């Protein structure tokens, strides 16, 4: 005889199957494709500001002379969407806004097939790039800019091959993944999400409230300041440092610095400060291959 527990499990499975089927049926009925494109013919643009919500944002290089913005995906027709570009002096403003036209709306398609905003920038040196995105992934690759600012809520941030003097990136709920980045100063902060830095060169300051912080680098003779509240700090270097001072603080966890120290240490003259602080989590600094 089937007991009540088994019956409850079977009923739960049937309920979930019904919900999923209803959502896919709703999606097939309610969505319509969207494809927009805007071309900006202005070679004097040196700064770009992007302000968006509920959309994936990709910043791409282009060999074309004109800037181009495209918006693609599937949408619910009950939500009014506006993609706008505006030029003010040498600054290009790109915005994407939504306005719901009915009081209640549920659109699973925007979870399964999110809108994607692609911005194509001609290859040159920019004064500044600024991205603000709420609920959506942000990526940028092969860009040269003096200042790069990224602020997201509920979305991953991914950077590849960026050259800049100063990079400031913050996310409320989402991970960060940076690779092949060169900058004089880099500040990264995540409230909920891990931070992964792969060959990110320059003075680094990283903060994570809930999530690990990792760095892979060629060398460590530079200033670093990493802090996590709940999360590990892992650093892997190709070369052992020759001129650093380690300031290490661990409240609940262990520290292993180059298999030689378990806390503060001075190597060489100690002219470069490496500050590593975690409340709940371990700290590891090791040479690649060890």
Position 28 pLDDT exceeds 50: no
**Cα distances (angstroms) measured from residue 64 to each of 50, 55, 70, 146:** 20, 25, 15, 21
In 3D space, the residue among 239, 288, 289 whose CA is nearest the CA of residue 267 turns out to be: 239
Asked if residue 124 lies in contact with residue 104, where contact means CB atoms within 8 angstroms, the answer is: no
Position 8 pLDDT exceeds 80: no
| Domain residue limits, the chain | 1-30
Q: Which of 17-21, 27-31, 105-109 is predicted least confidently? A: 105-109
- Cα–Cα distance measured from residue 147 to residue 185, given in angstroms and rounded to the nearest whole number: 10
Over the stretch 159-206, which tens digit does the pLDDT of each residue have?
999 999 999 999 999 999 999 999 999 999 999 999 999 999 999 999
Burial class (CB in 10 A: 0-12, 13-18, 19+), 10: exposed
């Amino acid at each position: 005889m089937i007991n009540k527990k088994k019956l409850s499990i079977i009923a739960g499975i049937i309920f979930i199957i019904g919900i999923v089927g209803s959502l896919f049926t709703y999606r097939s009925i309610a969505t319509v494709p969207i494809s927009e494109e805007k071309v900006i013919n202005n070679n004097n643009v040196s700064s770009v500001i992007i302000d968006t919500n509920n959309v994936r944002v990709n910043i791409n290089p282009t060999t074309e002379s004109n800037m181009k913005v495209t918006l693609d995906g599937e949408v619910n027709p009950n939500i009014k969407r506006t993609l706008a570009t505006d030029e003010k002096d040498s600054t290009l403003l790109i915005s994407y806004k939504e306005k719901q036209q009915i009081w209640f709306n549920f659109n699973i398609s925007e979870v399964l097939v999110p809108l994607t905003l692609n911005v194509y920038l001609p290859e040159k040196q920019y004064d500044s790039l600024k991205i603000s995105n709420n609920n959506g992934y942000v990526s940028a690759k092969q860009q040269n800019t003096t200042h790069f600012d990224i602020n997201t809520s509920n979305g991953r941030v991914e950077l590849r091959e960026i050259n800049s003097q100063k990079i400031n990136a913050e996310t409320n709920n989402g991970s960060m993944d940076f690779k092949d980045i060169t900058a004089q100063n880099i500040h990264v902060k995540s409230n909920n999400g891990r931070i992964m830095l792969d060959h990110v060169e320059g003075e680094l300051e990283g903060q994570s409230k809930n999530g690990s912080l990792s760095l892979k680098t060629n060398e460590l003779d530079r200033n670093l300041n990493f802090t996590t509240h709940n999360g590990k700090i892992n650093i892997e270097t190709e070369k052992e440092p020759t001129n650093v001072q380690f300031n290490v603080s661990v409240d609940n966890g262990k520290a292993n610095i180059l298999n030689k120290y378990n806390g503060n240490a001075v190597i060489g003259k100690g002219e470069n400060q490496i500050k590593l602080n975690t409340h709940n989590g371990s700290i590891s600094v090791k040479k690649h291959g060890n």
